Structure 1
Amino acid sequence: MEDKSKEARRRQIEDAAYKMLGEKGYAGTSMQGIARAAKASNETLYNWYGDKKGLMAALIARNTDTVRDTLSSHINADPLDRLAHLGPTLLAMVLGSRAVALNRAAAADPSGDLGRALARGGRETVAPMVTALMTDSPLRGQPDRLTQLYLTLLIGDLQIRRATGAMEPPTQEFCTTRAAEALDMLKRLAT
């Protein structure tokens, strides 16, 4: 029971953090404000996350966990099938409201702290997972370069378009179709 309660509490805190990021940006978001909005104690936030940077890293990690979970749930599939399952999940995650809030806040953060945390916890975490699939796949080419090509085909400028408001949230059908097209183009280019 305690684990469910703690998880529910974490979600409340994270929801409050995302709301505050959206309203006040990274610079205007404080641990005290998040604690107040989540009806949690400052002590709880500092014990669980350390500081604001730690909380942001936890938000990013939770998003990245969706990618890791998808890969884990298809562990016995061949690498290209795993990539086919990963694509829609990855695209939905990077274009989702939480990633958009983090990207907008990072873009407005003059210190660059949040942007660096996003790079570490996002692309620098996900790209090696994709590269491992490329290494084990029948595709020809350097795995790192295949990863970069795949991510470009899959995401392109969609993430910035979402962050700037030029694109509405995508449907699951859009993510599934776009991911299938990206993988098909990659196969054509690398076989």
Structure 2
Amino acid sequence: MTPQEKDARETQIAEAAYALLREKGYGGMSMLAVARKAKASNETLYRWYGDKAGLFRMLITRNVAAVSERLEQVSGERSAQALTELGEVLLELLLSPSAIALNRAAAADASDQLGAVLAEGGRGKVFPRIVRFFNGLSEAGVIRGAPGEVAELWLDLLVGDLQVRCVTGAMPPPGVADRAARAAKAQARVLALFG
């Protein structure tokens, strides 16, 4: 199997897993059900991922790769406008159906193992990229203060409890206009404090 064929097969498996996560939750999703939905063998899933937690880890890895790729596209410029664009993209990704499904699964896991995997693979990989962006803003004179602390505050202002409310079903994910307004507000507030 070529790397391209394996990636295409893994995409089918991921799509099947996400569909089952949304339909049945992590507890109701089995490796066999994913294999059937993806029209793959159960043996392949166990050989590639080891177990259901390994499959979950693959979903996180793929999601983080997509997030990282999108963040890379908008984080080249170091300006106030780029900060707003970064916020819009980050909200889009954090509130995507895939991200919500992963967070719901982690929240429902009484062992806390999935939450640890999600934190390590998600925030653990994405937040350092955001800090590097803020380092660039500091070097360009757009912000003053410790870039890591400013990035943390910006992220708090940008996301707040929005992701939790979407994950729990308390509200639907906001649309494009609402995400843009929220990103602009977070940018304006951070720059008012540290610009």
TM-score normalised by L of structure 1: 0.88
**CA deviation map 1:126-165 (0-9, x unaligned):** 1111111112213112222112101111101100110111
The one-letter amino acid of 1:97's match is P
Matching residue of 2:186 = 182
Q: Are the counterparts in 2 of residues 22 and 105 from structure 1 also a CA contact under 8 Å?
A: no
The separation in 1 between residues aligned to 2:9 and 2:42, in whole angstroms, is: 13
Following TM superposition, by how much is the alpha carbon of 1:109 offset from its aligned partner in structure 2, in angstroms?
Answer: 0.6
Partner SS, residue 77 of structure 1: coil
Indicate the percent of aligned positions where both proteins have the same amino acid: 47
The separation in 2 between residues aligned to 1:172 and 1:129, in whole angstroms, is: 23
Residue ranges of structure 1 left out of the alignment (5+ in a row): none
The separation in 2 between residues aligned to 1:52 and 1:82, in whole angstroms, is: 38
Partner SS, residue 55 of structure 1: helix
Residue ranges of structure 2 left out of the alignment (5+ in a row): none
Closer, same or farther: CA 114–68 of 1 in aligned 2, 3 Å: same
Following TM superposition, by how much is the alpha carbon of 1:81 offset from its aligned partner in structure 2, in angstroms?
Answer: 4.8
* Pairing 1:1-191 to 2, within 5 Å after superposition: 5-74=5-74, 76-78=76-78, 80-137=80-137, 138=141, 139-191=143-195
Closer, same or farther: CA 114–21 of 1 in aligned 2, 3 Å: same
Mean alpha-carbon deviation: is it higher for 139-148 or for 104-113?
Answer: 139-148
Q: Are the counterparts in 2 of residues 60 and 122 from structure 1 also a CA contact under 8 Å?
A: yes
Partner SS, residue 16 of structure 2: helix
Following TM superposition, by how much is the alpha carbon of 1:23 offset from its aligned partner in structure 2, in angstroms?
Answer: 3.2
The separation in 2 between residues aligned to 1:75 and 1:153, in whole angstroms, is: 19
Q: Are the counterparts in 2 of residues 67 and 86 from structure 1 also a CA contact under 8 Å?
A: no
TM-score normalised by L of structure 2: 0.86
Count of aligned positions = 191
Following TM superposition, by how much is the alpha carbon of 1:82 offset from its aligned partner in structure 2, in angstroms?
Answer: 4.2
Mean alpha-carbon deviation: is it higher for 127-136 or for 64-73?
Answer: 64-73
**CA deviation map 1:19-46 (0-9, x unaligned):** 2223333233222221122110123223
Following TM superposition, by how much is the alpha carbon of 1:66 offset from its aligned partner in structure 2, in angstroms?
Answer: 2.9
Following TM superposition, by how much is the alpha carbon of 1:9 offset from its aligned partner in structure 2, in angstroms?
Answer: 2.4
